[in-house]
A and B are shown apart, each in its own frame.
Chain A
Amino acid sequence: MDHPDEPTAEIALTLNGEPIRARVPLRQNLVDWLRHGQGLTGSHVGCEHGVCGACHVQVDGRVVRGCLMLAVQADGARVETIEGATETGRIRALQDAFFNRAALQCGFCTPGMLLQAAELLATNPAPTRTEIREALSGNYCRCTGYHAIVDAVEAAAAVLRA
């Protein structure tokens, strides 16, 4: 979106553990800026109106919809994307379980799904299938039918408890 007439603002934030400063278009949402401004294409865009969860990222420790937040609103925040969560290893058990259980097909929903599932397991180490389904009910997946995803989250929870 770099064009001289595009109004922008300077922001400073911690992105995947690194402090950065950037000039962002005022009207650009967070996920578009992460993807196109920062090249962090692991977060996806599925609806841009807050329904599908493909754009999930973590802001100040909470999973949020990156399409419903402007990049300028991330000024001063701590933002973590799937790339950052992968590097720290904090979602490794979930990633392994999704891989082993074939809990993804096209994989487009998966980064958002993993971050949401990680948030669940952080607060509820032994969720029931119903609790898992409720926690993930804001993440659309067209491919899997969800059953394998629920299995994978259960499996990851068991690994993390062990």
Chain B
Amino acid sequence: MNETLPDDGWIGRSLPRAATRRLVEGRGRYLDDHAAKGELHAAFLRSPFPHAAFRISDREAARTLPGVRAVLTAEDLVPACRSWRTQSLAFAGLVSPVQGPLARERAVYQGEPVALVLAASRAIAEDALELIGIDWDELPAATDPVAALEPDAPAVHQGLPSNLAWRTEFGGGDVEAAFARAALVVEDRLVFTRHTGVPLESRGALASYDPAAEALEVRLSHQIPHQMQVHLAELLDLPMGRVRVIAGDVGGGFGIKMHVYPDEVAICAASRLLRRPVRWVSDRIEALMADIHAREHVMRARMAVDAEGRILAFDVDDIQGLGAYSVYPRSSTVEAISALRTVGAPYRFDAYRARLRSVLQNKVPTGQYRSVGHPIGCATTERLVDLAAAARGEDPLEFRRRNLLREAELPWTNPAGGRMAELSHTATLAEFERLLDLPSLRAEIAAMRAQGRLVGLGFAAVVEYTASGPGAYGPAGIPVSAVDTVVVQLEPGGDVIARASVAEIGQGIQQGIVQVVADAVGVSPSRITIHTGDTGNAPHGGGAWASRGAGIGGEAAWGAGRKLRAEILGAAASLLQTTPEALDLRDGQVVDATGTPRLALADLAATVFFRGHELPGGLQPQFTATHQFRREEDVFLTTNGLQASLVEVDPDTGLVTPLRHWVVGDCGRRLNPLLVDEQVRGGVVQGIGEALLEACRYDPGNGQLLTGTLADYLLPMADNAPDITVGHVETPYSGSALGAKGAGEAGTCGAPAAVLCAVNDALAARGAAVTEMPITPAVVLRALGTLP
């Protein structure tokens, strides 16, 4: 079904992103660069305790501070806003209590908003927070997910019989039989510490409620403005048409900005209540505390292998730390399902069993974060694969080569329920070996080791489920759009304007869409202007999540562009007294079969718009075209890849230094290879952060967050990130016109696994191994026996 794309077209060209011209000059307009006349500034009082009952005893002192306009509590917001509860038909019986924009009587995680001050400035609002009289009665908190499952654990929410939010078991094939006949069984327990996305621009809201029009306009720093339009309309009980959500330039998202947050809803409700614009931007401490966290898992996993070194089965048990609520609206459990479905995904195996317990905790909710769950499943799998290779005394890449799914075996639904299609493991492995130049790399490693350096090389095979279709959230009853819509219109001067439901968060999808429209219509990208991110201006659709922009938004753009082109050629043919088939549109010129220009698009457009009296009777060109794309097949588009990490471990300090990193990926057709490569690199470094640095830590005694600043929450910086070599294999998805699949998250999917395997390759020389992420110096030193 792939269309034949022009050889000399714009799709597939490494063009720089036009929009970044503004950004390099400091002309970006992010959330906090906007203000509204008459606005009030908000600051939140947040719970300093992980679990506490509270009573607000005095707000007069705060309220009467000069410059303060209002001090609001949960009760105050009731007339302006509904409460909500996360439910999903996919997770029947999920326990997640009702939530509101502010906590009532009881706070269940540190950082939960409990009151809101509105004032003439943020500084005054913050002054007032300190004057609010509030009696706290600290309650026992459950923070560790394993301990929270114990029968005598404190209840995360009062009155709940247990902290188990949801459990499931699933699988396929005969697991018992597979383990019974295995020649080798490897197993391990892996601990993943929660971390978070840390987009450099934090979340916030500038809400303007117009009581006369009964309409809300709100600026958010968000990945999915249309989703927020749906939920704000629901929560504020407004018609969707009277809610406009605008996301201008967005300073990174990574999944952090795709949820409904109590604080953002509270700002909208406050604007409605005060009948004035209200502005709030999260500071970094609030962000580290109250942005969703992700990936807190304890995985016990076993793998059965036969005498020939073929994988027979996986048996995994996952305890997931969910947080105090399942995130709204998509549910935090999605992450665990994604992790479990990723186990074994690159390989052939006969049987699979997974057990999941998602556990409530007195911590901020977890949620979908870049490459949702995949890094957990991938790291678990690759750890087992390395253990098996080592037990068999064979090269870890050879073990992988033997077990990777072959192209001829596809499509295939594996025993974990993952549908594998159009993957290129064999070709990818060949390109990977070429890129790494393994013989010389191994010689280099041997030379370093000969100098006494503790270096290691680790591999990770990757399969990612990308570009989710309607089958992902639709059956769960969650209003998440998996379609995209693009409107293209021809302007009188011959320019084209595109309005698209995809969202630009820095990944460059606007540029990709422009290149698609350029080829689809037949105009240069420089003549195309694109608008996204404003529900008042862009049609409804999915926004930015699940690496969907190229695979879904690209199809909508192609469809709309082809329709506009057909209208243009039809009109031109009528004016030129020929047939549309005899004409082509190239670079803004209508040309004939010989390529001779016959009519400039600008002239045609001017004729139609301004000199309609000259047109033949009956000719009604439609110079605005729309296409909505819904993929009917394949709930997900699977992509594959291989990564390698070279690290050095300092045995004295325990510090791990990533030296180099390699990636070969197959994300189908690349709309813009330059931008795809940088998505991969950025994703890899985010995964390296996950592997080595990033952790949201809580005091095991009192449950206090210990990583509330960027001095405590460590991130990859330029001096501790490696150079990254990137290669590609292109297997276009056959079920679409362009053949693009998801590209934006695969780097993050495989990097933690590759780093974990590399560190363990290095530590093998000392007979040690690590099984915990992040692999901090303390983790390494404990593994080496230097620390208890």
Which residues of chain B (29-47) have a CB below 8 Å from chain A?
29-30, 32-33, 35
Judge if A142 is at the interface, Cβ distance under 8 Å: yes
Which residues of chain B (96-140) have a CB below 8 Å from chain A?
120-124
Q: Give the chain A neighbours of B681 by CB distance below 8 A.
A: 144-145, 147-148
Q: Give the chain A neighbours of B721 by CB distance below 8 A.
A: 133, 145-147
Which residues of chain A (25-39) have a CB below 8 Å from chain B?
25, 27-28, 35-36
Judge if A160 is at the interface, Cβ distance under 8 Å: no
Judge if B786 is at the interface, Cβ distance under 8 Å: no
B66, A5: Cβ atoms closer than 8 Å: yes
Q: Which residue of A lies closest to B717 (CB)?
A: A137
- Neighbour of A108 across the interface among B25, B122, B252, CB < 8 A: B252
Q: Give the chain A neighbours of B506 by CB distance below 8 A.
A: 104-108, 143
A3, B723: Cβ atoms closer than 8 Å: no
Per-residue interface assignment for chain A, residues 128 to 162, with 1 indicating a CB less than 8 Å from any chain B CB and 0 otherwise? 01001110111111111111111000000000000
- Neighbour of B120 across the interface among A2, A43, A81, A146, CB < 8 A: A2
A3, B678: Cβ atoms closer than 8 Å: no
A83, B26: Cβ atoms closer than 8 Å: yes
Q: Which residue of A lies closest to B721 (CB)?
A: A146
In the bound assembly, the distance between CA atoms of A83 and B22 in angstroms comes to 11
B710, A51: Cβ atoms closer than 8 Å: yes
- Neighbour of B250 across the interface among A82, A98, A106, A137, CB < 8 A: A106
Q: Which residue of A lies closest to B66 (CB)?
A: A5
Judge if B787 is at the interface, Cβ distance under 8 Å: no
**Distance (whole angstroms) from the CB of B725 to the closest CB of chain A:** 9
A138, B23: Cβ atoms closer than 8 Å: no
Question: Interface residue count for A (Cβ, 8 Å)?
Answer: 62
B200, A44: Cβ atoms closer than 8 Å: yes
Q: Give the chain B neighbours of A105 by CB distance below 8 A.
A: 252, 506-508, 678, 682
A100, B16: Cβ atoms closer than 8 Å: yes
Q: Which residue of A lies closest to B121 (CB)?
A: A1
B709, A49: Cβ atoms closer than 8 Å: yes
Helix, strand, loop or mixed for chain B's interface?
loop
- Neighbour of B199 across the interface among A43, A48, A142, A147, CB < 8 A: A142
Q: Give the chain B neighbours of A81 by CB distance below 8 A.
A: 26
Judge if A114 is at the interface, Cβ distance under 8 Å: yes
- Neighbour of B200 across the interface among A82, A83, A140, CB < 8 A: A140
Q: Give the chain B neighbours of A107 by CB distance below 8 A.
A: 20, 23-24, 28, 249, 251, 506
A137, B200: Cβ atoms closer than 8 Å: no
In the bound assembly, the distance between CA atoms of A111 and B709 in angstroms comes to 22
Q: Give the chain B neighbours of A146 by CB distance below 8 A.
A: 685, 716-718, 721
**Distance (whole angstroms) from the CB of A16 to the closest CB of chain B:** 11
Q: Give the chain B neighbours of A136 by CB distance below 8 A.
A: 717-719
Q: Which residue of B lies closest to A27 (CB)?
A: B123
In the bound assembly, the distance between CA atoms of A69 and B33 in angstroms comes to 20
Q: Give the chain B neighbours of A54 by CB distance below 8 A.
A: 200
Q: Which residue of B lies closest to A150 (CB)?
A: B718
Q: Give the chain A neighbours of B251 by CB distance below 8 A.
A: 44, 106-108
- Neighbour of A52 across the interface among B120, B200, B249, CB < 8 A: B200
Judge if A124 is at the interface, Cβ distance under 8 Å: no
B66, A104: Cβ atoms closer than 8 Å: no
Which residues of chain B (666-689) have a CB below 8 Å from chain A?
674-675, 678, 681-686
In the bound assembly, the distance between CA atoms of A82 and B251 in angstroms comes to 17
A49, B710: Cβ atoms closer than 8 Å: yes
A143, B682: Cβ atoms closer than 8 Å: yes
The verdict on A48 contacting B284 (CB below 8 Å), with A3-B121, A107-B20 known, is yes
Q: Which residue of B lies closest to A103 (CB)?
A: B678
**Could you tell me which A residues sit within 8 Å of B by CB distance?**
1-6, 25, 27-28, 35-36, 40-49, 51-52, 54, 81-83, 86, 95, 98-102, 104-111, 114, 129, 132-134, 136-150
For this complex, 28 residue pairs linking A to B, each with C-beta atoms less than 8 Å apart, are A1-B120, A2-B120, A6-B124, A44-B201, A46-B201, A47-B284, A52-B710, A83-B26, A86-B25, A95-B24, A99-B20, A99-B24, A101-B16, A102-B20, A104-B24, A105-B506, A106-B199, A106-B252, A107-B251, A108-B252, A111-B26, A134-B718, A136-B719, A142-B715, A144-B685, A145-B683, A145-B724, A146-B716
